[in-house]
């Protein structure tokens, strides 16, 4: 019995070590400077002007809002902003700021010119958001002393800082919060060519031999997302080291990604399960989100936030007033003939 416990403990430690290694590798692949950041040329040009102007005026730049799908580099850009300015970097997230005091404790400790990064800023609690308005605009927080009618607000000046907010759901931001950002940028999915550049850079940092065809194979299955491209590269590297000669070419990459259930469009097991359920169980839909989630044994939030954005962007699924519908492209991707015309009147992803 003790041996079993020791084996389980050793296995848990091994998994923890592997997870920590993955996180360290992912951090090592992040670009450190703006010129190292691949893709998003328009955003990089605009941001470089904002930062250079601030440095010439010797003042913190305007607050920055970055929006876009997960994995496009919003956190990396926030770190780059601090590096380019030569200032400190603090990081938190919207869900962690439940009370005004949580935010007050953070901003009151900021040094002049520091960058405060709030990930998922659309999920910040309303009391903290209202305090953030004053902190962003006047560099002041009001500390409430006492309770009830006798409570008193004591203004506390804070050092000028730059807030960088990141959001995957810009439509959920309130108007007053959005208006307080001096520079907003929307980050688009990467092209296959841009992802190939990301992969060649990452392969060099990881010391993984890769040829252009191998990089193209991985890039085509990376869903337009650098984070996914880097993750797939590490898995292809593992396959190449164990079952091939260590080099990543087109054949090795395709075989590795087949082992990890990533098809030629970049769909994984859950994506394909959603398509299979829509097409085979519900004859292409329409079907409600909750029913679809039960069919694939997942939470509705997982289906809606993890699977649907890419399936919709790829033209495989449409959101209609009556529910989710598989498009003719989805039928063809599964090797089936579409049943006939499909009603694909879409809904807005931010408001549906």
Residues 259, 244: contact at Cβ < 8 Å?
no
Residue in 32, 44, 55, 74 annotated catalytic:
74
In percent, how much of the chain has pLDDT > 70? 86
Q: Looking at the structure, tell me whether residues 318 and 217 fall in a common domain.
A: no
Concerning whether 142 is annotated as a catalytic residue, the answer is no
- Select which of 119, 249, 268, 271 is catalytic: 119
How far from chain centre, in Å, is Cα 131?
26
Residue 22 falls in which region: left (phi positive, over 0), alpha (psi -120 to 50) or beta:
alpha
- What's the token pair of residue 164? 């960088």
Please tell me which residue in 180, 221, 223, 227 is annotated as part of the active site. 227
Take residue 105 and report the two structure tokens written for it. 């404790």
Last residue of a domain, one of 128, 158, 186: 186
**Is residue 342 domain-resident?**
no
The answer to whether the predicted template modeling score (pTM) of the entire model surpasses 0.75 is yes
Asked whether residue 100 is domain-assigned, the answer is yes
272 classed as catalytic: no
Residue 17 — very low, low, confident or very high, per pLDDT cuts 50/70/90? low
Write down the mean pLDDT value for the chain. 85
pLDDT at 152 over 80: no
Catalytic residue at 269? Answer: no
Is 92 assigned a catalytic role?
A: no
Which of 195, 208, 110 minimizes the C-alpha distance to 158?
Answer: 110
**Are 48 and 178 part of one and the same domain?**
yes
Q: Can you give the CATH number for the domain in which 235 is found?
A: 1.10.8.60
pLDDT digits (tens, 9 = 90+) for 29-63: 888 898 889 989 999 999 999 999 999 988 999 99
**3-state helix, strand and coil shares in percent for the chain, rounded to the nearest 5:** 55, 15, 35
194 pLDDT band, cuts 50/70/90, is very high
Of 162, 186, 210, the domain-final residue: 186
Specify the pLDDT at position 142. Answer: 74
In the set 162, 167, 168, 327, the catalytic residue is 168
Domain that holds residue 240: 192-259
Task: Tell me if residue 249 is catalytic.
Answer: no
């Amino acid at each position: 019995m003790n041996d079993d416990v020791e084996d389980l403990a050793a296995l848990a430690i091994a998994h923890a070590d592997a997870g920590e290694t993955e996180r360290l590798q992912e951090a090592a692949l992040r670009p450190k400077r703006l010129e190292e950041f691949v893709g998003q040329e328009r955003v990089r040009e605009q941001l470089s002007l904002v930062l250079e102007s601030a440095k010439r005026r010797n003042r913190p730049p305007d607050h920055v809002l970055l929006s876009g799908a997960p994995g496009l580099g919003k956190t990396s850009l926030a770190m780059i902003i601090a590096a380019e300015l030569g200032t400190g970097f603090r990081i938190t997230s919207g869900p962690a700021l439940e009370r005004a005091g949580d935010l007050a404790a953070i901003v009151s400790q900021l040094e002049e010119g520091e960058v405060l990064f709030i990930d998922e800023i659309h999920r910040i609690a309303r009391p903290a958001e209202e305090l953030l308005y004053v902190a962003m605009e006047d560099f002041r927080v009001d500390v409430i002393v006492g309770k009830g009618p006798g409570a008193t607000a004591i203004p506390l000046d804070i050092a000028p800082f730059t807030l960088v907010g990141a959001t995957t759901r810009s439509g959920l931001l309130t108007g007053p919060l959005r208006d307080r950002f001096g520079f907003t940028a929307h980050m688009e999915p990467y092209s296959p060519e841009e992802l190939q550049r990301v992969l060649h850079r990452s392969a060099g940092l990881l010391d993984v031999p890769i040829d252009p065809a191998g990089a193209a194979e991985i890039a085509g299955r990376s869903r337009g997302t650098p984070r996914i491209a880097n993750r797939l590269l590490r898995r292809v590297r593992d396959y190449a080291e164990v079952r091939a000669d260590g080099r990543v070419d087109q054949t090795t990459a395709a075989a590795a990604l087949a082992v990890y259930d990533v098809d030629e469009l970049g769909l994984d097991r859950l994506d394909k399960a959603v398509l299979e359920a829509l097409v085979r169980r519900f004859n292409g839909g329409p079907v409600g989100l909750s029913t679809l989630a039960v069919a694939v044994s997942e939470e509705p939030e997982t289906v809606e936030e993890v699977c649907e954005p890419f399936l919709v962007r790829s033209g495989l699924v449409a959101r209609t007033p009556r529910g989710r519908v598989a498009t003719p492209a989805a039928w063809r991707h599964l090797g089936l003939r579409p049943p006939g015309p499909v009603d694909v009147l879409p809904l807005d992803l931010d408001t549906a």
